[in-house]
Amino acid sequence: MQFFGYFLLMPIVIYLAFNVLYLLLSAVAGRLGKADDVPISTKPTQIRRIAVLIPAYKEDKVIIDSVEANLLLDYPKSYFDLFVIADSFLPETLQKLATYPIKVITVEFEQSTVQKSIAYALHQLPRNTYDIVMVSDADNHMRPDFLQRINLAFDQGWKVVQGHRVAKNTNTGVAVFDAMNEEVNNHLFRGGQRALGMSASLIGSGMAFVPDAMMHGMSRLQTIGGYDKELEMNLLLDGFHIAYLKDAYIYDEKVQNLAVFERQRSRWIAAQIHFIKFYFTTGFAQLFKGNFHAFNAYLKGLIMPRTLLLAVLGLGVLIGLVFLNIPILVTMGSLLGVLAFTLAISIPGYLWKKISAKDFLLLFQLIFRMVRSLLNIKAASKSFLPTPHGETETKTP
């Protein structure tokens, strides 16, 4: 009887095993391989003109600080411009921005989204002026050498590059776990993917493109939120591959409370579900066309969010214990152990040092909030749910 029940669950077990083994392969590869960085001491063949697009929706609290930080880049001042795409800003914020050597593009939409702001700004850029277009979030601070490293990557022939986004703040338990999640993503879906010979995943900021590639990729977006997965797929369908620069750091504000965490995850899951449905036929067709980068991008889209994966495997172990079902207990326990090992080798040491014993209790709250976020995905798929920024921050060393 136990084995009959296990047989009925086989499709679920196969899907869960696919999740865990894919993540394990990426984690091990990330440990063994290397990214696409060029030593900063390398002399570039040319200094490219770079437009940095900063889409910002009601980001009055953080935008001035970000502008001031990003104007300090170690890149020739006449070769890069910051474009703040100001959506629903206060008049006094716009007046303050006008005092800086930047360009402000004001936008207003009936339904605001990041991709609408970026698409509008792309069409405002003077043609043939910029060699590279980069996207940075309103709260992001680029490390001073960031654009230098981007320029060196384009020297190597890359046309799409993803930088290394890390936490700007680790001042709450939620922020630390969010920072861990960011670095796990970097290890698995950027470093690990490049080690396996696949394209790195885009992440929505800290990414750079040749202008024509970005414009063509943005012109075909269908989703409301989480546009990075769809943009990545469009670029891969066009034949572009994506580099990952582990040493090109851009600092991003992490969510600091459970309510914001839940809201953000609802938006991400809604975008992921849209991606899975919209690109189902296209994604699998790429395998037979020999476009393994695009097919792999679709496979990554099928991966369950890791917090949910932990919850499902933990529930499976519990069911095995309660009903004394040895096959389920052994299978789910083994998968849970492999997943725990995968996550452990993907998190950098400096973040482990920031976790206290009581913070592990917070993990169960995060899992509960992640599960509850599933109830809001319908609303998230139809409306823009921005992540608020500007709470008190502490810098990550």
- Give the CA dihedral 358, 342, 31, 232, nearest 10 degrees: -100
The amino acid occupying position 237 is L
Q: Which residue has the tokens 């502490």?
A: 394
Sheet of strand 103-107, all strands in order from the earlier edge strand to the far edge: 103-107, 80-87, 50-57, 132-135, 207-209, 160-167, 243-252, 141-142
Q: What is residue 392's predicted lDDT score, i.e. its pLDDT?
A: 47
Residues 6+ apart with CB under 8 A from 213: 159, 160, 235, 238, 240
Amino acid 382: pLDDT: 59
What's the pLDDT at 259?
87
Q: CA 353, CA 235: separation in Å to the nearest integer?
A: 38
pLDDT at position 395 is: 41
Q: What is the pLDDT of residue 355?
A: 87
Give residue 265's pLDDT: 83
Q: Quick one: tokens of 320?
A: 């095995």
CA 136/CA 70 separation, integer angstroms: 10
pLDDT tens for the 397 residues of the chain, in order: 556 556 668 899 999 999 999 999 999 999 999 999 999 999 999 999 999 999 999 999 999 999 999 999 999 999 999 999 999 999 999 999 999 999 999 999 988 899 999 999 999 999 899 999 999 999 999 999 999 999 999 999 999 999 999 999 999 999 999 999 999 999 999 999 999 999 999 999 999 999 999 999 999 987 766 799 999 999 999 999 999 999 999 999 998 888 888 888 888 888 898 899 999 999 999 999 999 999 999 999 999 999 999 999 999 999 999 988 888 999 999 999 999 999 999 999 999 999 887 787 898 889 888 888 887 777 655 555 566 766 544 444 3
Sign of the CA dihedral with 226 first, then 231, 233, and 234 last: positive
